[in-house]
Amino acid sequence: MTPAELCRKHGISDATFYTWRKKYGGMEVSDAKRLKALEEENAKLKKLLAEQMMDVSTLREMLTMGAGERHAFERACERF
């Protein structure tokens, strides 16, 4: 079966097929599963890092505020 026939059968484009072949070609199934798991873990860690960076940024901003501004900011955050 040719790559074009496989693509038609599974409803994917030729470009997708060759991208996947480049990325996963020569890998065992267990290697591909491990790669996918690592990519998912990496995405979760990136999200956690972004959230922490936002928290740090917010705290720094609060440190530079005056007392009145800080109180108004805290009241606004309580609504969430």
Which tens digits make up the pLDDT trace of 3-59? 999 999 999 999 999 999 998 999 999 999 999 999 999 999 999 999 999 999 988
Sign of the four-CA dihedral 32, 33, 35, 39: positive
pLDDT grade, residue 80 (50/70/90)?
A: low
Residue 10 and residue 45: Cα distance in Å, rounded? 33
Q: Is the pTM of this model over 0.75?
A: no
Q: What is the pLDDT of residue 65?
A: 79
- Please count the structural domains in the chain: 1
Domain that holds residue 66: 3-78
Q: What is the pLDDT of residue 48?
A: 98
